[in-house]
Amino acid sequence: MAITRGIKHRIRGVYSTQKITRAMNLVAASKLQRTRNKLQNLRPFMEETLRVAYDMAARVTDRESVYIKARPVKNTAIIVISADRGLCGGYNVNVSKAASALISQNTREHLITAGTKARDYFRRRNRNIIRTYQGVSEMPFYEDATDIGLLAVDLYESGEVDEIYLVYTEFKSIISHTPKTLRLLPLPDSPENSGYMDFEPNEEAFLAYTVPKYVSAVIYGAMVESSACELGARMSSMDSATNNSTELINRFTLQYNRARQDAITQELTEIVGGAEAL
Amino acid sequence: MSKRLSLKIITPLRLLYDEDVDMVILRGADGDMGILPGCESRAAVLGYGPLRIFNNGAEENELAVMGGFAEILNDKVTVLSDAAEWPSEIDRVRAEAAKARAQQRILQKSGDTDIQRAELSLRRALVRIEVSSYPLIRGRK
């Protein structure tokens, strides 16, 4: 009966794993619901902030403004938004790879990571990480985004970096997420001025006030998008893990029954054989 | 009254307002500005203050806006703020308490950053108190 005991043990093991994956699936599903509501309320703000920022960038008369004029790029700041925990399919790897694509030979990268997974990814590759944030991926707060945003804008204003990129994952549906790269600064420079605009109190003060706000707002939006993706990815990967364990349990149960039958048949033959020998 | 403004007020938490209005008065960094249809394109930093909505020649509603910025372009007014509240959402008692607390902190003068934060929260409290009394005081100037 040694074989049947081994199989029984494995069935029990898979079963308890399945319990965990099912629970994780349910937890992710309910968190996702909340995050999706948040995202729905946030999207208009994100879209309008981007639109207004680009509108203004096109209308500012001072084309030499530090926020608009592209400088020769020597240092690039890359903000990567990933998850703190794994068990969510390819989510973390995809976003980290998208960020890696921005790193080139000619420029020095300055990485700001949100979530431990991106930090680990780049640390293993000996990349230059200047700041990391943890514990923000599932429940991002506006304050976290402001922290990251102000840090990045500071680096940009002081000339330590010449551009700021943001890499996050865009939420399309529960099963469809795509890593997205966005250049936050400098703002896109349009060749011709697209019209007059009166800036209050004045152009310079306006930009100095709005640009950090725009950067923080977009980072916050990206964090919420990413968090929805993380939860969606976790939900679907835990769902398939649960299905896989059901399959495993079925296969092991079959094996177990066969082994049990074999053992019984064996015993019977032995008894019959023994009786005949008498 | 054919031309109207399309006013949008958006915060990270929600879309507060998206309708056509006759006039809107914004609290800019340097003072109030009234926006009427046909206004030139402008972009403004907003201060802490009430945003007043006018329809049919009278003030229709008001809300407390805590900073942010506004864009006025082709009769579209877009207000992007970190936080904004309707009068009914403001807890008057809490705002009064916050005002008293902030005032006390300013009087005590304990460190620079604290003073800054206290001043901000005092300004927020004052705006909240002002806006929360709006439905009660009719016909203000």
Domain boundaries along the sequence of chain A: 23-235
Nearest-Cα residue of chain B relative to residue A143: B82
For residue A52, give the nearest of B14, B80, B82 by CB distance.
B80
pLDDT bucket at B21, cuts 50 / 70 / 90 = very high
SS3 A160: coil
From first to last of its 278 residues, what are the pLDDT tens digits of chain A? 677 888 999 999 999 999 999 999 999 999 999 999 999 999 999 999 999 898 888 888 887 888 888 888 999 999 999 999 888 888 999 999 999 999 888 889 999 999 999 999 999 999 999 999 998 888 888 889 999 999 999 999 999 999 999 999 999 988 889 999 999 989 887 666 667 888 878 888 899 999 999 999 999 999 999 999 999 999 999 999 999 999 999 999 999 999 999 999 999 999 999 998 87
Q: Verify that B34 and B71 share a domain, yes or no.
A: yes
SS3 B91: coil
Q: Report the alpha-carbon distance of residue B30 to residue A21 in Å, rounded.
A: 57
Say how many Å lie between the first and final Cα of chain A, rounded. 27
Q: Do B12 and A44 touch (CB under 8 A)?
A: no
* Contact present, A197 and A138 (Cβ < 8 Å): no
User: Where residue B65 sits, what CATH number does that domain have?
Assistant: 2.60.15.10
CB-based burial, A226-236: b 16+ in 10 Å, e otherwise: bbbbbbbbbbb
Q: Verify that B105 and B37 share a domain, yes or no.
A: no
Q: Report the alpha-carbon distance of residue B64 to residue B85 in Å, rounded.
A: 5
User: Comparing A257 with B58, which gets the higher pLDDT?
Assistant: A257
Which residues of chain B have a CB within 8 Å of the CB of A206? 43-45, 69
Q: The pTM is what?
A: 0.87
Q: Verify that B104 and B67 share a domain, yes or no.
A: no
Nearest-Cα residue of chain A relative to residue B26: A200
Q: Verify that B12 and B33 share a domain, yes or no.
A: yes
Q: Verify that B74 and B9 share a domain, yes or no.
A: yes
- 3-class SS letters over A222-243: HHHHHHHHHHHHHHHHHHHHHH
Which residues of chain A have a CB within 8 Å of the CB of B45? 200-201, 205-206, 209-210
Nearest-Cα residue of chain A relative to residue B70: A52
Which residues of chain A have a CB within 8 Å of the CB of B32? none
Which one of A88, A111, A153, A167 is the catalytic residue? A88
Structure tokens at B27: 């609290």
Q: Verify that B70 and B124 share a domain, yes or no.
A: no
- Whether B23 maps to a domain, the answer reads yes
pLDDT score of A196: 80
Q: Verify that B35 and B96 share a domain, yes or no.
A: no
Number of domains within chain B? 2
Active site residue A229: no
- Whether B99 maps to a domain, the answer reads yes
Residues paired with A164 in a beta bridge: A77, A185
Q: Verify that B102 and B125 share a domain, yes or no.
A: yes
- Whether B79 maps to a domain, the answer reads yes
Structure tokens at A203: 């152009």
| CATH number of this structure's domain A23-235 | 3.40.1380.10
For residue B43, give the nearest of A44, A49, A197 by CB distance.
A197
Q: Verify that B77 and B111 share a domain, yes or no.
A: no
Q: Do B82 and A196 touch (CB under 8 A)?
A: no
Asked if A196 has any chain B CB less than 8 Å from its own CB, the reply is yes
Nearest-Cα residue of chain B relative to residue A194: B41
Q: Report the alpha-carbon distance of residue A190 to residue A176 in Å, rounded.
A: 33
For residue A200, give the nearest of B13, B14, B45 by CB distance.
B45
Q: Domain residues for B98?
A: 89-132
Q: What is the DSSP string of A170-227?
A: EESSSS-EEEEEEEEESPPPPSS-----EEES-HHHHHHHHHHHHHHHHHHHHHHHHH
